[in-house]
Structure 1
Amino acid sequence: MVKVLASYQEEIANQEIPSGKKKVLLAGLKLFSKKGFHATTTAEIAHEAGVSEGTIYKYFKSKDDLLAKLLSPMLTEIKDNFFVQLDDYHDLTKLISFLVEDRIQFLLINFDFLKLFIQELLTDNKIIDLIKTEVTGKNGVFAYFDDLKKRFGEINSDLTSIQLLRIFISPIFTYVVQVKVFGINSQDKNADLALIKKQIYLGLTA
Protein backbone atom coordinates (compact mmCIF):
# COMPACT_ATOMS: atom_id res chain seq x y z
CA MET A 1 0.00 0.00 0.00
CA VAL A 2 1.39 3.38 -0.97
CA LYS A 3 1.79 5.58 2.07
CA VAL A 4 0.53 9.06 1.32
CA LEU A 5 -0.04 11.90 3.74
CA ALA A 6 -3.73 12.82 3.90
CA SER A 7 -4.59 16.12 2.29
CA TYR A 8 -3.33 19.09 4.23
CA GLN A 9 -6.88 20.29 4.80
CA GLU A 10 -7.72 16.97 6.43
CA GLU A 11 -4.57 17.05 8.53
CA ILE A 12 -5.39 20.54 9.82
CA ALA A 13 -9.02 19.54 10.44
CA ASN A 14 -7.84 16.58 12.55
CA GLN A 15 -5.34 18.55 14.62
CA GLU A 16 -6.18 19.06 18.30
CA ILE A 17 -6.02 22.85 18.18
CA PRO A 18 -8.59 25.57 18.98
CA SER A 19 -11.43 25.79 16.48
CA GLY A 20 -10.65 29.41 15.61
CA LYS A 21 -7.02 28.65 14.82
CA LYS A 22 -8.07 25.70 12.68
CA LYS A 23 -10.52 27.85 10.70
CA VAL A 24 -7.85 30.51 10.09
CA LEU A 25 -5.31 27.94 8.84
CA LEU A 26 -7.80 26.41 6.43
CA ALA A 27 -8.98 29.80 5.18
CA GLY A 28 -5.39 31.00 4.78
CA LEU A 29 -4.42 27.94 2.76
CA LYS A 30 -7.48 28.33 0.50
CA LEU A 31 -7.05 32.05 -0.17
CA PHE A 32 -3.24 32.10 -0.40
CA SER A 33 -3.29 29.32 -2.97
CA LYS A 34 -6.15 30.93 -4.91
CA LYS A 35 -5.17 34.62 -4.85
CA GLY A 36 -1.56 34.60 -3.74
CA PHE A 37 -0.12 35.60 -0.39
CA HIS A 38 0.37 39.31 -1.05
CA ALA A 39 -3.04 39.78 -2.68
CA THR A 40 -4.85 38.24 0.29
CA THR A 41 -5.77 40.45 3.24
CA THR A 42 -6.32 39.41 6.83
CA ALA A 43 -9.86 40.77 6.51
CA GLU A 44 -10.52 38.32 3.68
CA ILE A 45 -9.06 35.47 5.70
CA ALA A 46 -11.25 36.39 8.66
CA HIS A 47 -14.34 36.53 6.44
CA GLU A 48 -13.55 33.18 4.82
CA ALA A 49 -12.92 31.62 8.23
CA GLY A 50 -16.03 33.17 9.81
CA VAL A 51 -14.01 34.77 12.60
CA SER A 52 -12.87 38.28 13.54
CA GLU A 53 -9.50 39.68 12.48
CA GLY A 54 -8.63 39.71 16.16
CA THR A 55 -8.86 35.91 16.16
CA ILE A 56 -6.14 35.76 13.52
CA TYR A 57 -3.78 37.82 15.65
CA LYS A 58 -4.69 35.81 18.72
CA TYR A 59 -2.98 32.79 17.17
CA PHE A 60 -0.52 34.30 14.67
CA LYS A 61 1.84 37.26 15.05
CA SER A 62 1.29 38.36 11.47
CA LYS A 63 0.19 37.19 8.04
CA ASP A 64 3.81 36.11 7.46
CA ASP A 65 3.62 33.99 10.61
CA LEU A 66 0.43 32.35 9.34
CA LEU A 67 2.16 31.50 6.07
CA ALA A 68 5.15 30.03 7.91
CA LYS A 69 2.83 27.88 10.04
CA LEU A 70 1.24 26.55 6.85
CA LEU A 71 4.47 25.80 5.00
CA SER A 72 6.77 24.43 7.71
CA PRO A 73 4.91 21.17 8.56
CA MET A 74 4.64 20.21 4.90
CA LEU A 75 8.30 20.89 4.24
CA THR A 76 9.15 18.66 7.19
CA GLU A 77 6.93 15.89 5.80
CA ILE A 78 8.45 16.16 2.34
CA LYS A 79 12.06 16.10 3.55
CA ASP A 80 12.16 14.09 6.77
CA ASN A 81 9.20 11.73 7.06
CA PHE A 82 9.23 10.78 3.39
CA PHE A 83 12.97 10.06 3.26
CA VAL A 84 12.67 7.84 6.32
CA GLN A 85 10.26 5.68 4.32
CA LEU A 86 12.74 5.45 1.43
CA ASP A 87 15.35 3.96 3.75
CA ASP A 88 13.27 0.76 3.84
CA TYR A 89 13.98 0.10 0.16
CA HIS A 90 17.12 -1.79 -0.91
CA ASP A 91 16.21 -2.30 -4.57
CA LEU A 92 16.47 0.78 -6.79
CA THR A 93 13.53 -0.08 -9.05
CA LYS A 94 11.26 -0.66 -6.04
CA LEU A 95 12.42 2.60 -4.45
CA ILE A 96 11.68 4.50 -7.66
CA SER A 97 8.27 2.82 -7.96
CA PHE A 98 7.32 3.83 -4.43
CA LEU A 99 8.64 7.35 -4.86
CA VAL A 100 6.76 7.97 -8.11
CA GLU A 101 3.42 6.61 -6.89
CA ASP A 102 3.65 8.22 -3.47
CA ARG A 103 4.76 11.69 -4.60
CA ILE A 104 2.29 11.90 -7.47
CA GLN A 105 -0.58 11.05 -5.16
CA PHE A 106 0.76 13.42 -2.52
CA LEU A 107 1.01 16.34 -4.96
CA LEU A 108 -2.36 15.66 -6.60
CA ILE A 109 -4.07 15.55 -3.22
CA ASN A 110 -2.21 18.58 -1.86
CA PHE A 111 -2.17 20.67 -5.04
CA ASP A 112 -3.38 23.81 -3.23
CA PHE A 113 -0.28 23.61 -1.07
CA LEU A 114 1.93 23.09 -4.12
CA LYS A 115 0.53 26.24 -5.76
CA LEU A 116 1.08 28.24 -2.59
CA PHE A 117 4.59 26.88 -2.24
CA ILE A 118 5.55 27.79 -5.81
CA GLN A 119 4.00 31.24 -5.60
CA GLU A 120 5.96 32.13 -2.50
CA LEU A 121 9.13 30.49 -3.74
CA LEU A 122 9.10 32.88 -6.71
CA THR A 123 8.42 36.04 -4.70
CA ASP A 124 9.55 35.69 -1.10
CA ASN A 125 13.24 35.69 -0.17
CA LYS A 126 12.45 34.29 3.27
CA ILE A 127 10.86 31.23 1.70
CA ILE A 128 13.82 30.88 -0.66
CA ASP A 129 16.21 30.91 2.32
CA LEU A 130 14.08 28.31 4.09
CA ILE A 131 14.13 26.05 1.03
CA LYS A 132 17.88 26.46 0.63
CA THR A 133 18.35 25.25 4.19
CA GLU A 134 16.09 22.25 3.64
CA VAL A 135 17.81 21.35 0.35
CA THR A 136 21.49 22.17 0.86
CA GLY A 137 21.82 22.02 4.66
CA LYS A 138 23.73 19.39 6.59
CA ASN A 139 20.71 17.07 6.75
CA GLY A 140 19.02 18.38 3.63
CA VAL A 141 17.90 16.80 0.40
CA PHE A 142 21.36 16.96 -1.20
CA ALA A 143 22.87 15.02 1.70
CA TYR A 144 20.26 12.31 1.20
CA PHE A 145 21.03 12.07 -2.52
CA ASP A 146 24.73 11.72 -1.76
CA ASP A 147 23.83 8.79 0.49
CA LEU A 148 21.60 7.37 -2.25
CA LYS A 149 24.57 7.09 -4.61
CA LYS A 150 26.46 5.13 -1.97
CA ARG A 151 23.52 2.77 -1.35
CA PHE A 152 22.84 1.93 -4.99
CA GLY A 153 25.78 1.09 -7.19
CA GLU A 154 23.64 1.35 -10.35
CA ILE A 155 23.37 5.13 -9.94
CA ASN A 156 25.91 7.04 -12.01
CA SER A 157 28.39 8.33 -9.44
CA ASP A 158 29.26 11.29 -11.67
CA LEU A 159 25.79 12.77 -11.21
CA THR A 160 25.65 15.72 -8.82
CA SER A 161 22.97 16.15 -6.18
CA ILE A 162 21.17 18.85 -8.16
CA GLN A 163 21.19 16.61 -11.24
CA LEU A 164 19.69 13.78 -9.22
CA LEU A 165 17.03 16.15 -7.90
CA ARG A 166 16.11 17.21 -11.44
CA ILE A 167 15.93 13.60 -12.62
CA PHE A 168 13.46 12.74 -9.87
CA ILE A 169 11.35 15.89 -9.87
CA SER A 170 10.95 16.77 -13.56
CA PRO A 171 8.73 13.88 -14.79
CA ILE A 172 6.70 13.80 -11.56
CA PHE A 173 6.05 17.55 -11.58
CA THR A 174 5.20 17.54 -15.29
CA TYR A 175 2.64 14.78 -14.79
CA VAL A 176 0.97 16.64 -11.90
CA VAL A 177 0.79 19.86 -13.96
CA GLN A 178 -0.69 17.87 -16.86
CA VAL A 179 -3.51 16.61 -14.66
CA LYS A 180 -4.20 19.56 -12.32
CA VAL A 181 -3.42 22.59 -14.51
CA PHE A 182 -4.32 21.42 -18.01
CA GLY A 183 -6.92 18.84 -16.97
CA ILE A 184 -5.39 16.16 -19.20
CA ASN A 185 -6.07 12.84 -17.57
CA SER A 186 -4.19 9.84 -18.84
CA GLN A 187 -6.11 7.20 -20.77
CA ASP A 188 -3.81 4.62 -19.22
CA LYS A 189 -2.49 5.86 -15.87
CA ASN A 190 -0.50 2.69 -15.20
CA ALA A 191 1.32 3.05 -18.51
CA ASP A 192 2.12 6.69 -17.74
CA LEU A 193 3.48 5.82 -14.31
CA ALA A 194 5.53 2.98 -15.75
CA LEU A 195 7.05 5.40 -18.26
CA ILE A 196 7.88 7.92 -15.54
CA LYS A 197 9.59 5.21 -13.48
CA LYS A 198 11.59 4.12 -16.53
CA GLN A 199 12.61 7.71 -17.30
CA ILE A 200 13.91 8.17 -13.76
CA TYR A 201 15.74 4.84 -13.73
CA LEU A 202 17.43 5.53 -17.07
CA GLY A 203 18.33 9.03 -15.94
CA LEU A 204 19.94 7.74 -12.76
CA THR A 205 21.87 4.94 -14.39
CA ALA A 206 22.92 6.56 -17.69
Structure 2
Amino acid sequence: MNRVFEDVDNWLNLKQMPKGKQKVIKAAMTLFSQYGYHATSTAMISEESQMSQATIFKYFESKEALLLVIIKPMIEHVLPTYGQDFVAEIKNNGGDLEELVHFMAYDRFYFLKQNKDAAMILITQVLNDDSTRNMLLEKIELFKKTFANELWSVLQDTDELRDDVTLEDFIHVFVGQIVFYFVQSQRLIVVDDEKIIEKQLDKIIQNVILAIRKQ
Protein backbone atom coordinates (compact mmCIF):
# COMPACT_ATOMS: atom_id res chain seq x y z
CA MET A 1 0.00 0.00 0.00
CA ASN A 2 1.39 3.44 -0.90
CA ARG A 3 2.17 6.26 1.51
CA VAL A 4 -1.03 8.26 1.09
CA PHE A 5 -3.23 5.18 1.43
CA GLU A 6 -1.30 4.17 4.55
CA ASP A 7 -2.07 7.60 5.96
CA VAL A 8 -5.69 7.38 4.80
CA ASP A 9 -5.99 4.28 6.98
CA ASN A 10 -4.94 6.41 9.94
CA TRP A 11 -7.06 9.43 8.97
CA LEU A 12 -10.15 7.24 8.67
CA ASN A 13 -9.35 5.42 11.92
CA LEU A 14 -9.90 2.16 10.07
CA LYS A 15 -8.64 0.11 12.98
CA GLN A 16 -11.50 1.47 15.09
CA MET A 17 -14.12 0.36 12.53
CA PRO A 18 -15.89 -2.99 12.19
CA LYS A 19 -14.01 -5.35 9.86
CA GLY A 20 -16.81 -5.32 7.30
CA LYS A 21 -16.78 -1.53 7.05
CA GLN A 22 -12.99 -1.56 6.65
CA LYS A 23 -13.27 -4.03 3.78
CA VAL A 24 -15.90 -1.92 2.01
CA ILE A 25 -13.80 1.26 2.23
CA LYS A 26 -10.61 -0.43 1.03
CA ALA A 27 -12.45 -2.11 -1.85
CA ALA A 28 -14.03 1.20 -2.84
CA MET A 29 -10.65 2.97 -2.82
CA THR A 30 -9.16 0.30 -5.09
CA LEU A 31 -12.08 0.31 -7.54
CA PHE A 32 -12.60 4.09 -7.62
CA SER A 33 -8.93 4.57 -8.50
CA GLN A 34 -9.01 1.88 -11.19
CA TYR A 35 -12.37 2.49 -12.86
CA GLY A 36 -13.52 5.87 -11.56
CA TYR A 37 -16.43 6.62 -9.25
CA HIS A 38 -19.20 6.58 -11.85
CA ALA A 39 -18.06 3.35 -13.47
CA THR A 40 -17.86 1.52 -10.14
CA SER A 41 -21.10 -0.10 -9.03
CA THR A 42 -22.03 -1.21 -5.54
CA ALA A 43 -22.14 -4.75 -6.95
CA MET A 44 -18.45 -4.41 -7.86
CA ILE A 45 -17.65 -3.09 -4.38
CA SER A 46 -19.60 -6.00 -2.90
CA GLU A 47 -17.60 -8.53 -4.93
CA GLU A 48 -14.23 -6.88 -4.21
CA SER A 49 -14.91 -6.55 -0.48
CA GLN A 50 -16.72 -9.89 -0.15
CA MET A 51 -19.46 -8.01 1.69
CA SER A 52 -23.11 -8.08 0.66
CA GLN A 53 -24.73 -4.97 -0.83
CA ALA A 54 -27.04 -4.96 2.18
CA THR A 55 -23.96 -4.67 4.42
CA ILE A 56 -22.58 -1.82 2.29
CA PHE A 57 -25.82 0.15 2.67
CA LYS A 58 -25.90 -0.67 6.37
CA TYR A 59 -22.70 1.36 6.75
CA PHE A 60 -23.21 3.93 3.98
CA GLU A 61 -26.57 5.32 2.87
CA SER A 62 -25.32 5.74 -0.72
CA LYS A 63 -22.30 5.25 -2.95
CA GLU A 64 -21.73 9.01 -2.78
CA ALA A 65 -21.59 8.86 1.01
CA LEU A 66 -18.92 6.16 0.70
CA LEU A 67 -16.93 8.34 -1.71
CA LEU A 68 -17.08 11.32 0.65
CA VAL A 69 -15.76 9.21 3.52
CA ILE A 70 -12.66 8.60 1.36
CA ILE A 71 -12.32 11.98 -0.35
CA LYS A 72 -12.77 14.35 2.61
CA PRO A 73 -9.81 13.05 4.68
CA MET A 74 -7.59 13.13 1.57
CA ILE A 75 -8.43 16.77 0.91
CA GLU A 76 -8.13 17.69 4.59
CA HIS A 77 -4.70 16.08 5.01
CA VAL A 78 -2.92 15.81 1.64
CA LEU A 79 -2.30 19.56 1.20
CA PRO A 80 -1.10 20.48 4.70
CA THR A 81 0.83 17.25 5.26
CA TYR A 82 2.56 16.85 1.91
CA GLY A 83 2.49 20.49 0.81
CA GLN A 84 4.47 21.71 3.80
CA ASP A 85 6.93 18.82 3.50
CA PHE A 86 7.45 19.77 -0.14
CA VAL A 87 8.14 23.45 0.61
CA ALA A 88 10.68 22.47 3.28
CA GLU A 89 12.48 20.27 0.75
CA ILE A 90 12.49 23.08 -1.82
CA LYS A 91 14.03 25.50 0.68
CA ASN A 92 16.74 22.98 1.57
CA ASN A 93 17.44 22.21 -2.09
CA GLY A 94 18.36 25.75 -3.19
CA GLY A 95 19.94 26.40 -6.58
CA ASP A 96 19.04 28.46 -9.64
CA LEU A 97 15.61 28.56 -11.27
CA GLU A 98 16.18 25.57 -13.55
CA GLU A 99 17.53 23.44 -10.70
CA LEU A 100 14.52 24.32 -8.56
CA VAL A 101 12.01 23.55 -11.31
CA HIS A 102 13.87 20.30 -12.05
CA PHE A 103 13.66 19.26 -8.40
CA MET A 104 9.98 20.22 -8.18
CA ALA A 105 9.01 18.39 -11.38
CA TYR A 106 10.70 15.13 -10.41
CA ASP A 107 9.59 15.32 -6.78
CA ARG A 108 5.91 15.97 -7.56
CA PHE A 109 5.68 13.52 -10.46
CA TYR A 110 7.13 10.68 -8.41
CA PHE A 111 4.97 11.65 -5.43
CA LEU A 112 1.92 11.21 -7.68
CA LYS A 113 3.32 7.98 -9.15
CA GLN A 114 4.08 6.53 -5.72
CA ASN A 115 0.55 7.36 -4.59
CA LYS A 116 -1.08 6.61 -7.93
CA ASP A 117 -4.38 5.20 -6.71
CA ALA A 118 -5.11 7.99 -4.24
CA ALA A 119 -4.02 10.62 -6.77
CA MET A 120 -6.23 9.16 -9.50
CA ILE A 121 -9.30 9.28 -7.25
CA LEU A 122 -8.68 12.94 -6.39
CA ILE A 123 -7.85 14.03 -9.94
CA THR A 124 -10.83 12.22 -11.47
CA GLN A 125 -13.27 13.65 -8.94
CA VAL A 126 -11.87 17.17 -9.18
CA LEU A 127 -12.26 17.06 -12.96
CA ASN A 128 -15.76 15.61 -12.92
CA ASP A 129 -17.46 16.71 -9.73
CA ASP A 130 -18.15 20.32 -8.75
CA SER A 131 -18.53 19.63 -5.03
CA THR A 132 -15.19 17.81 -4.80
CA ARG A 133 -13.50 20.54 -6.84
CA ASN A 134 -14.93 23.23 -4.54
CA MET A 135 -13.79 21.35 -1.44
CA LEU A 136 -10.25 21.16 -2.83
CA LEU A 137 -10.20 24.82 -3.92
CA GLU A 138 -11.36 25.93 -0.47
CA LYS A 139 -8.53 23.98 1.13
CA ILE A 140 -6.01 25.39 -1.35
CA GLU A 141 -7.08 28.92 -0.45
CA LEU A 142 -6.67 28.19 3.27
CA PHE A 143 -3.11 26.97 2.82
CA LYS A 144 -2.05 29.24 -0.03
CA LYS A 145 -0.44 31.80 2.26
CA THR A 146 1.26 29.23 4.45
CA PHE A 147 3.20 27.30 1.79
CA ALA A 148 2.39 28.42 -1.77
CA ASN A 149 3.64 31.94 -1.06
CA GLU A 150 6.72 30.52 0.65
CA LEU A 151 7.42 28.42 -2.42
CA TRP A 152 6.92 31.44 -4.67
CA SER A 153 9.38 33.51 -2.64
CA VAL A 154 12.06 30.83 -3.13
CA LEU A 155 11.59 31.04 -6.91
CA GLN A 156 11.58 34.84 -6.83
CA ASP A 157 14.83 34.87 -4.89
CA THR A 158 16.62 33.42 -7.93
CA ASP A 159 15.99 36.76 -9.69
CA GLU A 160 15.39 34.83 -12.91
CA LEU A 161 11.59 35.07 -13.12
CA ARG A 162 9.96 37.34 -15.69
CA ASP A 163 8.40 40.40 -14.05
CA ASP A 164 4.95 39.65 -15.48
CA VAL A 165 4.79 36.04 -14.24
CA THR A 166 2.51 35.56 -11.23
CA LEU A 167 2.16 32.69 -8.77
CA GLU A 168 -1.08 31.70 -10.51
CA ASP A 169 0.71 31.67 -13.90
CA PHE A 170 3.39 29.37 -12.54
CA ILE A 171 0.90 26.99 -10.92
CA HIS A 172 -1.11 26.82 -14.15
CA VAL A 173 1.94 26.02 -16.30
CA PHE A 174 3.67 23.68 -13.87
CA VAL A 175 0.77 21.75 -12.34
CA GLY A 176 -1.08 21.44 -15.64
CA GLN A 177 1.82 19.73 -17.40
CA ILE A 178 2.83 17.49 -14.49
CA VAL A 179 -0.72 16.28 -13.83
CA PHE A 180 -1.44 15.74 -17.54
CA TYR A 181 1.71 13.65 -18.01
CA PHE A 182 0.98 11.71 -14.83
CA VAL A 183 -2.49 10.73 -16.05
CA GLN A 184 -1.20 10.01 -19.56
CA SER A 185 1.73 7.84 -18.45
CA GLN A 186 0.09 6.05 -15.54
CA ARG A 187 -3.45 5.50 -16.80
CA LEU A 188 -3.93 6.17 -20.53
CA ILE A 189 -0.71 4.73 -21.96
CA VAL A 190 1.13 3.14 -19.05
CA VAL A 191 4.88 3.87 -19.10
CA ASP A 192 7.19 1.88 -16.82
CA ASP A 193 10.50 2.71 -18.51
CA GLU A 194 12.21 5.25 -16.24
CA LYS A 195 14.37 6.59 -19.07
CA ILE A 196 11.26 7.49 -21.09
CA ILE A 197 9.66 9.12 -18.04
CA GLU A 198 12.78 11.15 -17.30
CA LYS A 199 13.09 12.25 -20.93
CA GLN A 200 9.51 13.55 -20.89
CA LEU A 201 9.97 15.23 -17.51
CA ASP A 202 13.03 17.03 -18.85
CA LYS A 203 10.94 18.30 -21.76
CA ILE A 204 8.30 19.56 -19.31
CA ILE A 205 10.99 21.32 -17.28
CA GLN A 206 12.26 23.11 -20.37
CA ASN A 207 8.71 24.15 -21.33
CA VAL A 208 8.15 25.59 -17.86
CA ILE A 209 11.50 27.41 -17.88
CA LEU A 210 10.79 28.94 -21.29
CA ALA A 211 7.43 30.20 -20.00
CA ILE A 212 8.65 31.83 -16.78
CA ARG A 213 12.34 32.81 -17.11
CA LYS A 214 13.65 36.17 -18.22
CA GLN A 215 14.96 36.14 -21.77
Counterpart among 134, 144, 148 of residue 145 in structure 1: 148
How many residues align? The count is 200
Contact 2:5 2:118 in 1 (8 A): no
Paired letter, 1:16: K
Alignment correspondent of 2:136: 131
Alignment correspondent of 1:205: 213
Q: Give the direction of change, closer, same or farther, for the CA distance of 1:203–1:134 in structure 2 (3 Å limit).
A: farther
**What per-residue deviation string (whole Å, max 9, x for no partner) do you get for residues 159-206 of structure 1?**
233312122213322432342221344545444444444443443434
Contact 1:107 1:176 in 2 (8 A): yes
TM-score after normalising by structure 1: 0.74
Deviates more, 1:195-204 or 1:68-77: 195-204
Alignment correspondent of 2:112: 107
**What per-residue deviation string (whole Å, max 9, x for no partner) do you get for residues 56-82 of structure 1?**
345434322221222233334442122
Distance 1:102 1:77 in 2: 19
Unmatched segments (≥5 aa) in structure 2: none
**What per-residue deviation string (whole Å, max 9, x for no partner) do you get for residues 106-144 of structure 1?**
222333333333332343221122122123x2324x774
Q: 1:75-86 residue pairs with structure 2 within 5 A?
A: 75-86=75-86
Alignment correspondent of 1:72: 72
CA deviation after TM superposition for structure 1 residue 54, in Å: 4.2
Alignment correspondent of 2:183: 177
Paired letter, 2:183: V
- Are 1:159 and 2:165 counterparts? yes
- The CA RMSD over aligned residues, in Å, is 3.2
Distance 2:9 2:75 in 1: 18
Alignment correspondent of 1:23: 23
Distance 2:6 2:104 in 1: 22
Unmatched segments (≥5 aa) in structure 1: none
Deviates more, 1:93-102 or 1:160-169: 93-102
